[in-house]
Amino acid sequence: MATYSCDLLIVGGGGAGLRASIAAAEARPDLDVAVVSKVYPMRSHTVAAEGGAAAVIKDTDSLEAHAYDTVSGADWLCDQDVVEAFVNEAPREMVQLEHWGCPWSREPDGSVAVRPFGGMKVSRTWFAADKTGFHMLHSLFQTSLKYKSVKRYDEWFVTRLLVDDGRCAGVVAVEIATGEIHSIMAKAVILCTGGCGKIFPFTTNANIKNGDGMALAYRAGAPLKDMEFVQYHPTGLPATGILITEATRAEGGWLVNKDGYRYLQDYALGTPEPKPVHRTMELGPRDRLSQAFIKEQERGRTLEGPYGHYVNLDIRHIGEAVIDKKLPFVRELCLKYANLDPVHEVIPVRPVVHYIMGGVHTDIHGATPIAGLYAAGEVACVSLNGANRLGSNSLTECLVFGARAGLAAAEFVDGAAPAGAAIEAQARDEEQRLRALMAKTDGTERIADLRSEMQSTMEESAGIYRAGDTLAAGGETLGRLRQHARHLKLEDRSSTFNTEFISALELDYMLELAEVILRSAVERTESRGAHQRIDFPARDDDKFLAHSLAYRADDGSARIEYLPVTITQWPPGARVYGKQ
Amino acid sequence: MSGGAHEPAAGLKLYHPPMSLWWWLERRAYFKIVVRELTSLFVGAFAVVTLLQIRAVGDGPEPYAAFAAMLGSPAFITFSVVAFLAVLFHALTWFPLVPTTIVLRVGEQRVPGNIIAGAHFAGWLIVSVVVAYILLRG
Amino acid sequence: MAETLRLEVSRYRPEEDSEPTLQSYDVLLDALNHVKNEIDGSLTFRWSCRMGVCGSCGMMANGEPKLTCAVPLTDYDPAQPIRIEPLQFFPVVRDLVIDMSSFLEKLSNVKPWIIRDDVEATEAVEFKQTPAELDAYKQFSMCINCMLCYSACPVIGLEPEFSGPAAIALAQRYNLDSRDKGKEERMDVLDAHEGLWGCTYFGECTKVCPKNVDPAGAIQLYKMASATDYLKSLLLPWGSK
C-alpha cells in the first residue's frame, strides 16, 4: 500500500470539484492540491447538464427576485442566508467562467444572453445553446490544466474517508487501472462526487452517479440532510430517461396530454398563453409539473407506450431556425435516441429522476460537522435547494459553493495537525477489507440483479407520491437486498481495470443511501416540494419547517434528527404560480 | 496518476497493437489518399518535363526537334497518358477537400463547402478552355 | 425487441494473454451492458452518460471508430457478427479499455485556456463577444474528447508523438476566440514536425467525428496561418509578430 500526501484533496472532478481546485490553487499557490476522480474529469456528469445556469446580470432583474424565486421554489425548506449568499455571488462566478472561455450564447450587442426557466419570474438563465454543462465542464477542466500545483489522480475510486478524533485526514482509494490500493493523506478533503440518481431505475443520471461521496461521509459519521427530497424532472425520453431540457419549454414548448390539451392549466399553474410566461404553465417548478403528470395519468388522459405512460412535448411551433440555434442538442438526442425529429413531431416525455436536493450536511462555507471535511455540489446539502431545486440553480451552485469550499478548506489546511498513527491503522484496515472483498469467490448474487431490484423498489416506494405503508414495504425489501449484497458473485478475478469490483462497491454505497432516503421519507409526515405523502397531503410548518438529518447508527440503520430552517426575509408563504 | 505530466499508471502491462505495413490497404479512404499522395510524383514529373522542354528550346532548333521526337515516342505517349490520369485523379480528389481549408463568410452565414469546391472546379474548367483555345486556334 | 445479435468482442486479459483474442456472444440490444450484466461480469469497457456527450465509450465497431452509445445496433446486419475492439492506435489496458494518458498530455500541451494578462482590470463585467465572434470558434469547442479522431488517423499509428486532431482543433478553438490573446504562444508549441505538420490530411478525423467538430479543417486553417506567418517573417523586415 503506497501512501501519497497533499495539503488539500478534492474527491470528484466535475463542476464543483474543478471549481474548488482552481479556487484553492489561485488563493494559495503554495498548497499541494490534488483531485481524485473515478473518471477523467471531462467525463463527469456536469457534462450532461443542458439548459443553463442562473445568475442575475440584466438591469431588469434583482438579487432579491432571484432569492425569492429560489426560496418559494424550495417550498421554504432552504436556509435563506445560504440563498442570499448564493444569489450575491452567482453573477461574479458566472462572469469568472466567462473570462475562462465558456462559450455563452450572446445577444447581438455581444452581451451574455439569458433565457427564462422554470419557477423564475425573470429571465436570468445563462446558456450555451443547450449544452451548458458540457461547455462549463470543459472550460473548467481546460482552465484547470493551467495550474501546475493541482495534481490529478484520474480513475481512482475512493473507498473510505480516514477520520480520527473528529477530523478527516485523507482517503483510501483504489487505482482502477492497476487495482492497487493507496492512501492519500490530506490536511483537508472536499467531497464533490455528485448525486445518486442511479439508485432509481429511470433517471437522467449517468452510470457514475452512485452517491459515492454521500455514503463515504455518512459512514465517517457526517449526517445526510434532507435525503427524502428527490427531484423528478418532468421531461425525460421514455425508453432511456435521457433528459429533454427545461429550455425546450423556456423557448416556448408545450406539454400536452393525449387530446393535445395543455393539461397544466388544470393544476393551479395558470392559464395557457401562446408565448411562454414566467412562473406559469410549462414554466412552473419541476415538482409541481411532475406531480401534475401523475394526476393526469390517474385521470386516464396520458398516452401509453411500450415504456409506460407519457405525455407529449410539442416544440414544432418554435420552428426549425430557433430549434437549431438554441436547442440543437435536443434535436440531436431526439433523432438519435427517440427516432423522431422535433421540428416535425411531438416528443414523448415522462417524469424522470434527475437530482437529489439532499446530501452531506454542510454549513454556508461547505464545511461538514467533521473537521477538515467539506462538500460542494450535488453531493452536498448546503440547503440552497430545500424541498425542490429550481432548474439552472445547480450549475451555479457548483461554482459558488465549489469556490467557497475550496477557499474554506485551503484556509483550514494551515491549522491542521499532522495525521496520527490511528489514521495509518485505519488505512491498513481498509486495505484488508478491500483485499478480502477482491479475494471472495463464494458469492452467489449477481450485482445487476440486486441493483435492478433496488431500483424498482425505490421507484415503487419513494416515487413522486409516497405513503407510509409503501415506504415501509420498500424498507423491508431493502433490508433483504442488503443481506444478499454480502454474498455478491464476482466473476472478474483480474486486478487490471476491474469495473465489476468497482460496481460492487458502488452498489454497496447505493443500498446504504437508498435506506437513508426511505427512512427520511418515512419520518417526514407532511407534503412539501418534491416529497409528497398521500397519507399526509398538507405542508406542516409547525413540525417540519426543519431539515432532516440522518445519522448512521452503530447497527447500520439511520437515525433521524431535525434542524430548524434559517429564515431571514421571507416568512413561509403559499407557493403561487400562474398569477403574480 | 498525473500532475503536470500525464503518463500511464505504473505497473500496467499495456498491449501495443502493431501497425501493419499494409495499413493503407485496410481502409478504402486510406488507400485513396495514399494513392493521391503518390500521384503528386506525376504532377512533379510534368513540371520536370516542362522545364526540360524550356531548356531544349533554349538550346536551339536541333536539340528541340530531338526532344519533340522523344515526346512523340510511343513510350512517352504511354507515360503521358498515365501521368495525365494520375494528375486528373489528384485534382478530382483534392478539390473537394479545399473547403475545409478556406472559411468564407457572407454576413453571418459560412459559405457552403460545395460552392467553394464548385468554384475551384469552375476555375479549372475556365483555365482549361483558355489553354485549349490558345493551343488549338492555330 | 427480441432480436438477437452476435457480437465479437476483443478481449485482452493482461494476466493471461500476450495479445487480444476474440470471443463471441449472442446478445440482445444494448449489447455490451447485457453481456456485462448477465453473461460475463469480467468484460471491461468504459461508459457513463449513454447520451453521446461524456465521450467515454469510443470503440472500434467492425473496424470503424464509433461512439458506442450513439450507434443503434439496427444499423448492423443481424446475420453478421459485429466485431468490437478497443480504439486503434492506442495502447490497450484491458479488453476495450485503452490508455489515454498520451491524449491528455497532448491536450494540455496546447495550452487550452484563455491567455491574456488584463483579466484583473475587467473582472466585474463580461467580455463582449458578438454572435459572429462566437460562431468563429463554436464548432471547435464542441469536442467531447472521445478520441475517435485519433483512432481514424493513421499518422497517430505511425508517429505516436503527433499532437493529433482533437488537440490541434482545441488550440484553434482558443486561437479563434475573440477573448484570447495566446495564439503566438500556442504556435510555438504546434509549429513543429510532431505538431501541425505531422498531419498529411487524410481527413478521416472529420469524417468520424460524432460532433461535427471538423478537426481536419482546424488543422488546415492552422497550417495556413503558420505558413503565412513564416512568409511574412521572411519577406517583411519587421517579421510576423
Instruction: Write out pLDDT tens, residues C97-145.
Output: 999 999 999 999 999 999 998 766 566 788 999 999 999 999 999 999 9
The pLDDT > 70 percentage for chain A reads 100
Q: What pLDDT is attached to residue A128?
A: 97
φ and ψ at A497, to 5 degrees? 45, 55
Q: What pLDDT is attached to residue C27?
A: 34
Report chain B residues whose CB lies below 8 A from the CB of A496.
Answer: 12-13
Task: Evaluate whether A450 touches A444 at the Cβ level (below 8 Å).
Answer: no
- Ranges for all domains in chain C classified under CATH 1.10.1060.10: 101-235
Please write the tens of the pLDDT for every residue from C50-94: 999 999 999 999 999 999 998 887 788 878 888 899 999 999 999
- The residues on C that touch B, with CB distances below 8 Å, are 12, 14, 19-20, 63, 88-89, 91-93, 99, 101-102, 104-105, 108, 131-132, 135, 154, 157-158, 200-204, 206-207, 214, 216-217, 220-221, 223-224
CB environment C22-45: b (16+ within 10 A), e (fewer): eeebebeeebbbbbbbeebbbbbb
Q: Is the pLDDT of residue A313 over 70?
A: yes
**Inter-chain contact C14–A494, Cβ cutoff 8 Å?**
yes
DSSP assignment letter at C196: G
Q: What pLDDT is attached to residue B114?
A: 87
**Inter-chain contact C48–A43, Cβ cutoff 8 Å?**
yes
Task: Evaluate whether A6 touches A32 at the Cβ level (below 8 Å).
Answer: yes
CATH of domain C101-235: 1.10.1060.10
The pLDDT > 90 percentage for chain A reads 96
**Inter-chain contact B29–C14, Cβ cutoff 8 Å?**
no
Domain of residue B59 covers: 26-102
Domain C5-98 has CATH 3.40.50.1820: no
| Closest chain A C-alpha to B33 CA, distance in angstroms | 31
Q: Is the pLDDT of residue A328 over 60?
A: yes
Q: Give long-range contacts, CB 8 A cutoff, 24+ apart: B110-117.
A: B110/C135
Q: Is the pLDDT of residue A257 over 90?
A: yes
Q: What pLDDT is attached to residue C19?
A: 66
Mean residue pLDDT across chain A? 97
Average pLDDT over residues B56-67: 89
The answer to whether residue B111 sits within a structural domain is: no
Please write the tens of the pLDDT for every residue from A175-217: 999 999 999 999 999 999 999 999 999 999 999 999 999 999 9
CA A564 and chain centroid, separation: 23
What is the pLDDT confidence band of residue C240, given thresholds at 50, 70 and 90?
A: very low
The complex's ipTM works out to 0.95
Please write the tens of the pLDDT for every residue from C43-52: 999 999 999 9
Q: Which of A326, A351, A376 is at the close of a domain?
A: A351
Nearest residue to C66 (alpha-carbon basis) of C227, C208, C215:
C208
The answer to whether residue B76 sits within a structural domain is: yes
Please write the tens of the pLDDT for every residue from A486-539: 999 999 999 999 999 999 999 999 999 999 999 999 999 999 999 999 999 999
What the block records as the C-alpha cell of A526 is 407532511
Q: How many Cα atoms occupy the beta-carbon half-sphere of B94 within 13 Å?
A: 17
> Distance (Å, rounded) from C-alpha A235 to C-alpha A50?
13
The answer to whether residue B81 sits within a structural domain is: yes
Domain of residue A464 covers: 425-535
Specify whether A346 is located in the same domain as A430. no
Single-letter code of the amino acid located at A273: E
Mutation target among A42, A156, A440 for the C interface, most CBs of C within 10 A: A42
Question: Would strands C64-67 and C82-85 be described as parallel, antiparallel, or unpaired?
Answer: unpaired
Tell me which chain C residue has its CA closest to the CA of residue A42.
C54
Report chain B residues whose CB lies below 8 A from the CB of C220.
Answer: 100-101
What is the pLDDT confidence band of residue B2, given thresholds at 50, 70 and 90?
A: very low
DSSP assignment letter at A175: E
**Inter-chain contact C217–B100, Cβ cutoff 8 Å?**
yes
Give the other-Cβ count within 10 Å of A148's Cβ: 11
> Distance (Å, rounded) from C-alpha B54 to C-alpha A412?
82
Which segment of A277-291, A393-407, C95-109, C191-205 scores lowest on mean pLDDT? C191-205
- Cα angle value B129/B132/B133 (rounded, 5°): 85
Please write the tens of the pLDDT for every residue from C4-13: 556 677 777 7
Q: Is the pLDDT of residue C26 over 80?
A: no
CA dihedral A28, A32, A37, A42 (to 10 degrees): 50
Please write the tens of the pLDDT for every residue from A42-93: 999 999 999 999 999 999 999 999 999 999 999 999 999 999 999 999 999 9
The answer to whether residue A109 sits within a structural domain is: no
The answer to whether residue A438 sits within a structural domain is: yes
Tell me which chain B residue has its CA closest to the CA of residue C157.
B19
Residue with cell 405513503: A467
- Ranges for all domains in chain C classified under CATH 3.10.20.30: 5-98
Nearest residue to A147 (alpha-carbon basis) of A258, A37, A26, A14:
A26
Out of B19, B29, B33, the one facing C157 most closely (by C-beta) is B19
Residue A279's region, left for phi above 0, alpha for psi from -120 to 50, else beta, is left
What is the pLDDT confidence band of residue C25, given thresholds at 50, 70 and 90?
A: very low
Q: What pLDDT is attached to residue B109?
A: 73
How many independent structural domains does chain A possess? 2
Give the other-Cβ count within 10 Å of A545's Cβ: 18
The verdict on C44 touching A (C-beta cutoff 8 Å) is yes
Average pLDDT over residues B102-127: 84
Out of B5, B29, B105, the one facing C105 most closely (by C-beta) is B5
Q: What pLDDT is attached to residue B4?
A: 52
A vs B, Cβ pairs < 8 A, gives 28
DSSP annotation string for A395-412: HHHHHHHHHHHHHHHHHH
Tell me which chain B residue has its CA closest to the CA of residue A147.
B4
Which segment of A353-367, A453-467, A535-549, B31-45 scores lowest on mean pLDDT? B31-45
> Distance (Å, rounded) from C-alpha A571 to C-alpha A548?
20
Report chain A residues whose CB lies below 8 A from the CB of C146.
Answer: none
Tell me which chain B residue has its CA closest to the CA of residue A174.
B1
CA A15 and chain centroid, separation: 11
Please write the tens of the pLDDT for every residue from A559-568: 999 999 999 9
Question: From the candidates A19, A28, A167, A233, which is the catalytic residue?
Answer: A233
What is the pLDDT confidence band of residue A428, given thresholds at 50, 70 and 90?
A: very high
CA C208 and chain centroid, separation: 10
Q: What pLDDT is attached to residue A431?
A: 98
**Inter-chain contact C45–A103, Cβ cutoff 8 Å?**
no
Out of A148, A152, A178, the one facing B11 most closely (by C-beta) is A178
Task: Evaluate whether C98 touches C58 at the Cβ level (below 8 Å).
Answer: no
- Listed in sequence order, the residues at least 6 apart from C189 whose beta carbon sits closer than 8 Å to its beta carbon are C109, C110, C111, C171, C195
**Inter-chain contact A496–B8, Cβ cutoff 8 Å?**
no
Average pLDDT over residues A422-426: 95
The answer to whether residue B79 sits within a structural domain is: yes
Out of C38, C95, C138, the one facing A448 most closely (by C-beta) is C38
What is the pLDDT confidence band of residue C239, given thresholds at 50, 70 and 90?
A: low
Mean residue pLDDT across chain C? 86
Q: What pLDDT is attached to residue A30?
A: 96
Give the other-Cβ count within 10 Å of A554's Cβ: 6
Residue with cell 425525460: A236
Average pLDDT over residues A264-289: 96
- Cα angle value B16/B20/B25 (rounded, 5°): 140
How many independent structural domains does chain B possess? 1
If contacts are CB pairs under 8 Å, which of residues 10-49 in chain B contact chain A? 10-13
Report chain A residues whose CB lies below 8 A from the CB of C108.
Answer: 145
Q: What pLDDT is attached to residue C1?
A: 35
- The residues on B that touch C, with CB distances below 8 Å, are 2, 5-8, 12-17, 19, 23-24, 26-27, 29-30, 33, 37, 97, 100-101, 103, 105, 108, 110
Q: Is the pLDDT of residue A485 over 80?
A: yes
Out of A151, A177, A178, the one facing B3 most closely (by C-beta) is A151
Specify whether A239 is located in the same domain as A347. yes
- Listed in sequence order, the residues at least 6 apart from C31 whose beta carbon sits closer than 8 Å to its beta carbon are C5, C7, C25, C73, C82
> Distance (Å, rounded) from C-alpha A100 to C-alpha A194?
23
**Inter-chain contact A45–C54, Cβ cutoff 8 Å?**
yes
Task: Evaluate whether A377 touches A194 at the Cβ level (below 8 Å).
Answer: yes
Q: SS3 for A176? A: coil
Task: Give partners of C (≥3 CB pairs < 8 A).
Answer: A, B
The answer to whether residue B16 sits within a structural domain is: no
What is the pLDDT confidence band of residue B98, given thresholds at 50, 70 and 90?
A: confident
Q: Is the pLDDT of residue A478 over 60?
A: yes
Give the other-Cβ count within 10 Å of A377's Cβ: 32
What is the pLDDT confidence band of residue C230, given thresholds at 50, 70 and 90?
A: confident
**Inter-chain contact A178–B8, Cβ cutoff 8 Å?**
no
Tell me which chain C residue has its CA closest to the CA of residue A148.
C108
What the block records as the C-alpha cell of A463 is 416515487
Q: What pLDDT is attached to residue B93?
A: 85
Q: What pLDDT is attached to residue A208?
A: 97
Q: Which of A304, A332, A351 is at the close of a domain?
A: A351
Nearest residue to A257 (alpha-carbon basis) of A285, A292, A288, A233:
A292
**Inter-chain contact C112–A142, Cβ cutoff 8 Å?**
yes
CA dihedral A324, A327, A333, A336 (to 10 degrees): -10
**CATH number, domain at B55?**
1.20.1300.10
A vs C, Cβ pairs < 8 A, gives 164
> Distance (Å, rounded) from C-alpha C198 to C-alpha C222?
12
Tell me which chain B residue has its CA closest to the CA of residue C222.
B101
Task: Evaluate whether C58 touches C65 at the Cβ level (below 8 Å).
Answer: yes
**Inter-chain contact A496–B10, Cβ cutoff 8 Å?**
no
Question: From the candidates A45, A66, A115, A249, which is the catalytic residue?
Answer: A249
Single-letter code of the amino acid located at A106: R
Element (H, E) at A520: helix A499-523
Q: Which residue has the higher pLDDT, A348 or B101?
A: A348
Q: Is the dihedral of CA C231, C233, C237, C238 positive or negative?
A: positive
Q: Is the pLDDT of residue C236 over 70?
A: yes
- Listed in sequence order, the residues at least 6 apart from C215 whose beta carbon sits closer than 8 Å to its beta carbon are C140, C143, C149, C165, C166, C168, C169, C205, C206, C209
> Distance (Å, rounded) from C-alpha A49 to C-alpha B28?
39
Write down the number of H helices and E strands in chain A: 15, 22
Q: Is the pLDDT of residue A255 over 50?
A: yes
Q: SS3 for C214? A: coil
Q: What pLDDT is attached to residue B127?
A: 94
Q: What pLDDT is attached to residue B108?
A: 67
**Inter-chain contact B14–C91, Cβ cutoff 8 Å?**
yes
What the block records as the C-alpha cell of B116 is 467553394
Catalytic site residue A233?
yes
Q: Is the pLDDT of residue B3 over 50?
A: no
**CATH number, domain at A496?**
1.20.58.100
**Inter-chain contact B13–A496, Cβ cutoff 8 Å?**
yes
Average pLDDT over residues B75-88: 92
Nearest residue to A231 (alpha-carbon basis) of A117, A119, A388:
A388
Average pLDDT over residues C197-224: 91
